Amino acid sequence: DAGVTQSPTHLIKTRGQQVTLRCSPKSGHDTVSWYQQALGQEPQFIFQYYEEEERQRGNFPDRFSGHQFPNYSSELNVNALLLGDSALYLCASTPLLDARTTDTQYFGPGTRLTVL
Amino acid sequence: DAKTTQPPSMDCAEGRAANLPCNHSTISGNEYVYWYRQIHSQGPQYIIHGLKNNETNEMASLIITEDRKSSTLILPHATLRDTAVYYCIVRADNNAGNMLTFGGGTRLMVKP
């Protein structure tokens, strides 16, 4: 049973560019959350997707947007990249609502984004 | 969600029990205590969670005080691979998609 997977593992972009990160949730999970973790800091919540809609959002600008597909996978898009967007981007998934006994989130390995 | 307080760092000898404390004095009745750990540059790993009873799984034990204002995560026989940052998080568990709010965590160093 595959866990949460993310792609790519690493990527390098320049300021002003746009980037798309991808996440496939764990089998049997329908909710996807995204977090940003700057170097040496704790993860910060960006947003969460459920039933293909953004359900909850943290304190991040509109340059950060997302999408969830019918198969529950998700994308995180960041426009007009800034140097400060350099971070580890983490995806976490939560079990299907009808099978859920807790809201435990399970994390993927992350995508390391470097903005030059 | 309630705020948590953890010591910034701790050391533990390999093979000994590691006891990681967490204070959450403002916890509400419907809030659970969750523990995650993060090994360097990897995604956070879920360890255990509980509401008011003590919990145990294959990774660790969670001891919650009777007033629920503090808890302790116990790794019974720490190994070098348990070196990580351990996060104690308090949040409601109501299927409403509550986000995880991470604090600074405790950096546990297991030494030979």
Give which of A62, A68, A71 is closest to A49, Cα–Cα. Answer: A68
Do B45 and B85 meet the contact criterion of CB atoms below 8 Å apart? no
Segment B30-50 shows an average pLDDT of 93
The confidence score (pLDDT) of residue B55 equals 95
Instruction: Name the pLDDT band for B99 (thresholds 50, 70, 90).
Output: confident
Q: Could you tell me which residues of chain B have a Cβ less than 8 Å from any Cβ in chain A?
A: 32, 34, 36, 41-46, 49, 87, 91, 93-105
Our CA-based measurement puts residue B3 at a distance from the nearest CA of chain A, in whole angstroms, of 14
The confidence score (pLDDT) of residue A1 equals 56
Span A38-73, pLDDT tens digits: 999 999 999 999 989 998 899 999 999 999 999 999
Do B10 and B20 meet the contact criterion of CB atoms below 8 Å apart? yes
Q: Is the pLDDT of residue B90 over 80?
A: yes
The confidence score (pLDDT) of residue A95 equals 82
- Give residues with Cβ within 8 angstroms of B53, minimum separation 6: B64
- Phi, psi (deg, nearest 5) at residue A85: -80, -5
SS3 (DSSP) at B101: coil
The Cα–Cα gap between A82 and B106 comes to 30
Residues of chain A with pLDDT > 90, as a percent, come to 82
Our CA-based measurement puts residue B99 at a distance from the nearest CA of chain A, in whole angstroms, of 7
Burial annotation B50-71 (CB, 10 A radius, 16+ → b, else e): beeeebeeeebbbbbeeebebb
Residues of chain B with pLDDT > 90, as a percent, come to 80
The confidence score (pLDDT) of residue B97 equals 63
